[in-house]
Copies of this chain bind each other. A is one copy, B any other.
Amino acid sequence: MKIVAIIGSAFGSKSRVAVNYTINKIKEVRADAEVEIIDFSDLQFPFADGREYLQYEGEVGQALKKMMEADGLIIGTPIFQASMPGTLKNLFDMLPVNAFRNKVAGMIVTAGSEKHFLIPEQQIRPVLSYMKANLVPNYVFITDKDIIRQEIKNPDIEFRLDRFVDDFFLLLDTYQTMIQQKEAAYDF
């Protein structure tokens, strides 16, 4: 079971804190999960230039290949200017149109205000859907006041991240089963 977790901004640390908590939870409950992290503060991507993803080399090429091979994606991101950061959108631009077909994707979003609650639904979900991801219906929305000095201060957030991990794997296991059934059906 290959999981890629993306931290969608090169600056700020709240999404990283939430994603790291989630990864630890995943390791706790799913021994069979291999988790890779793509963190824009560690790895700088170039701007998309129309190349196929397989033409990228080095660490960038590796990261894109891991995304394409993943069974599940966890996208942790802040909201900038009422949408996802340009860094995150640029990463999506480097991938093919149907890059997320047969993958399950879940969103963990940090924002300055409750008023931004629907931005993941309206801005990020359509892009992931277009790329054919199967989305976990609920996302975890965290306002900035819940993470202070790189620690989650609200136990309700931990509870929601735990439940998100459950929902993520329930959907992931479901789609894996569905894909296997479909493939078996095509063999006859």
Q: Which residue of B lies closest to A48 (CB)?
A: B86
Oligomeric state, in copies: 4
Q: Do residues B114 and A93 form an inter-chain contact, with CB atoms below 8 A?
A: no
Q: Is A61's beta carbon under 8 Å from chain B?
A: no
Q: Is A66's beta carbon under 8 Å from chain B?
A: no
Distance between A72 CB and nearest chain B CB, rounded to angstroms: 15
Q: Mark A11-50, 1 if CB is under 8 A from B, else 0.
A: 1100000000000000000000000000010001001111
Q: Complex Cα distance A50/B171, Å?
A: 35
Q: Is A154's beta carbon under 8 Å from chain B?
A: no
Q: Complex Cα distance A161/B117, Å?
A: 24
Q: Is A5's beta carbon under 8 Å from chain B?
A: no
Q: Do residues A81 and B86 form an inter-chain contact, with CB atoms below 8 A?
A: no
List residues of chain B with CB within 8 A of the CB of A83: 83, 89, 123, 126-127
Contact of A119 among B97, B118, B170, B175 (CB under 8 A): B118
Q: Mark A109-134, 1 if CB is under 8 A from B, else 0.
A: 00001111111011100110111101
Task: Point out which of A50, A80, A182 has the most chain B C-beta atoms below 10 A from its C-beta.
Answer: A80
Q: Is A91's beta carbon under 8 Å from chain B?
A: yes
- Taking A127-B82, A178-B170 as contacts, is the C-beta distance between A50 and B12 under 8 angstroms? yes
- List 26 A–B pairs whose Cβ atoms lie within 8 Å, in order of A's numbering: A10-B48, A10-B49, A11-B49, A12-B50, A40-B47, A47-B87, A48-B85, A80-B93, A81-B97, A81-B127, A81-B130, A82-B129, A82-B130, A84-B89, A85-B89, A85-B93, A86-B86, A86-B90, A87-B90, A89-B89, A90-B90, A114-B117, A115-B115, A118-B119, A123-B126, A170-B182
A residues adjacent to B (C-beta < 8 A): 10-12, 40, 44, 47-50, 80-93, 95, 97, 113-119, 121-123, 126-127, 129-132, 134, 137, 170-171, 174-175, 177-178, 181-182
